[in-house]
Amino acid sequence: MEASGRERPDGQRPGVPDGLTQPLPADRQGSIQEIDYDAHHYINADRQLVSSSLVDPAEAGREVVRGKPIRKRCSLYLPAGYEAAPADARCDVLYLLHGVGGDHREWLDGSGQTGGRPLLAAILDRLIAAGDIPPTIVVFPNGRSAVDWTDRSFNTEGTNMLGFYYFDYELRHDLIPFIDARYRTKAAAASGVPGGDGQGGRSHRALAGLSMGGMQALNLGLGGFRHDSAVFAGGASRYGNGLVPTVPAPGMTDLFSAVGAFSNAPTSSGGQRLGASIRAAGFAVRQLMLVCGDEDLLVQSSFEEALDGLEEAAGERLGSLLREIVPGGKHDFGVWTYAAYRFLLAAFGTSGSTGA
C-alpha cells in the first residue's frame, strides 16, 4: 500500500496549472451533451425503493416494490474526435457527482468559464490533447435517485434527500449499463458482453464527487452507511441536520477501481468502516483520493473521520491512498476543480503524469 499526504511547505494554495485553463481551438474541444435515460431504481413518494432487480429489502433497509421507470437526465463530456474515431477506439469513463444543492450541471457551470467554455471541460481538453490522460468520457449524473429528482432543496425529510443514499442501485443497474451500451467504453469491451457486467472493466471506470457527491463516492462506492431522516428512522442525529445512519451499502468496488472524495459531506462513514468494506469486498481499490481545504470548517471533521483507520482496515486491498489538504481552501470550486484535475491524473494518467 502506498499512502501519501500533500501540503505545500510554503503555505501557498496549489491550483490547476495555467497552461491547462486556456481553451483549445474549437476543432480540438470535446463536446458537451445532455442525455435522458430510464431509471428503474429510485425512491418513490412512499419512501419505498422501486427496483426492477432482485434487491433484498434487508439490504435496502426498506420495502422494495415494482414500479414504472422515471426519466432522468445527465450531462456528458465526450473527448474531441470521438464521433470520427474508429469503432475500436474506446474511452475510460469518470462518473462525477454533484453536491447537495446541485444537479447534473453543477460541475460544468460551477467550475467557471474560460473563453466561453466551462473550465473543467477546457482542462479535460488540454489533458487529453497533451496525452496526460487517454480519451475519457465524463458522466455528470443527477445523484438523487428519487421520484422528485429535480428538487434541489435541502430537506432532510424529503424523498429527494433520501434518494442521494440510494443512488448506487441506479448507477449499477441503470446508468452504467446505459453508458456502456451507447458509447464506446473500455469497460464494456473488457467485460466481454454488450453493456458490460462491470467487473472486467473496473480499471477503466472511476467515481468521484464533491461534498454530498464525495459522501456518495465513499459510502456508496466503497461501502458505508445509508442515511434517512430521524423522523422516519428514529434516533437522534449526531450531525445536527436530522439525518441518522440506517443500513450499510454493499459498495461498488466491483465496478470502480479508483474513487475520489472532495470535501466529503458530514454523513460520510468513518475510515474503519470504509476500510473494512474494501477488504471484505475482494476487489482492490487501485486509487483512493480525499481532498479538503484547510479553511473548510463545514466538512473538516468528516474528511478526517473518513481517513481515520482506513488504511489499516483496508489492508492490502487498498493500493494508493492520496490525501491532500489545500492551504486556504474553502468549500468551493477553487478546491473541487483542482481536486478533479488531480484525480483525473491519479485515476487515468499516463506514465509520468501525476499533477505534482
pLDDT digits (tens, 9 = 90+) for 119-163: 999 999 999 999 999 999 999 999 999 999 999 999 999 999 999
Average pLDDT over residues 249-262: 98
pLDDT number for residue 199:
58
CA–chain centroid gap for 131, Å, is 23
pLDDT number for residue 295:
97
Asked if the model's pLDDT at residue 9 lies above 70, the reply is no
Question: Which 3 state secondary structure label does DSSP give 354?
Answer: coil
Instruction: Report the CATH superfamily, name and number, of domain 2-348.
Output: Alpha/Beta hydrolase fold, catalytic domain (3.40.50.1820)
Beta strands in 92-242 (DSSP E): 92-97, 113-114, 117-118, 136-140, 205-210, 225-229
* Side chain identity, residue 146: A
pLDDT number for residue 351:
60
Quick one: CA torsion of 201, 202, 204, 210, rounded to 10 degrees?
150
d(CA 155, CA 136) in angstroms, rounded, equals: 35
Model pLDDT for residues 279-299, shown as the tens digit of each residue: 999 999 999 999 999 999 999
Asked if the model's pLDDT at residue 191 lies above 80, the reply is no
Q: Domain-by-domain residue ranges, the chain? A: 2-348
Asked if the model's pLDDT at residue 198 lies above 70, the reply is no
